[in-house]
Amino acid sequence: MDNWTTSHDRVLAQRNAEGWMFLIEAARDLRTTGAIAPSSKALARLLTAPVQEHGMQPLNVLEAGAGTGSVTRTLLPRLSPGSRLDIVEANGRFVSQLRRLVRTHPRLVGERERIHVHHTLVEQLDIGHPYDVIVSGLPFTNFTPAQVETIMNRYMELLHPGGILTYFAYCGTRYVRFLTASRAEARRHRAVEEVLADYRRRYATGCWTVWGNLPPANVWQLRRPLPGAVPAALDIAAGVAL
Ligand SMILES: C[S@@+](CC[C@H](N)C(=O)[O-])C[C@H]1O[C@@H](n2cnc3c(N)ncnc32)[C@H](O)[C@@H]1O
Listed as ranges, residues in the chain with pLDDT below 70 are 1-7, 230-242
Residue 4 alpha carbon to ligand 1 centre in Å: 32
If DSSP codes are grouped into helix, strand and coil, which group holds residue 242? coil
Let me know: does 48 contact 77? Beta carbons within 8 Å: no
Pocket probe for ligand 1: among 138, 167, 170, the residue whose CB has the most ligand atoms within 8 Å is 138
pLDDT at 5: 55
- Expressed in angstroms and rounded, the spacing between residue 33 Cα and the centre of ligand 1 is 6
Q: In this structure, which residue's CA is closest to atom 20 in ligand 1?
A: 121
Q: Is 178 left (phi over 0), alpha (psi -120 to 50) or beta?
A: alpha
Strands (DSSP E) found in the chain: 60-64, 84-89, 115-119, 131-136, 159-170, 204-210, 217-223
Closest CA to 195 of 147, 136, 137: 147
Predicted TM-score (pTM) of this structure: 0.91
Furthest-apart CA atoms within the chain: distance in Å? 61
Q: Whose CA is nearest to atom 18 of ligand 1?
A: 121
Please report the pLDDT score of residue 197 as a whole number: 97
Is domain 3-225 in CATH 3.40.50.150, yes or no?
yes
Ligand 1 pocket, 65 CB below 6 A?
Answer: yes
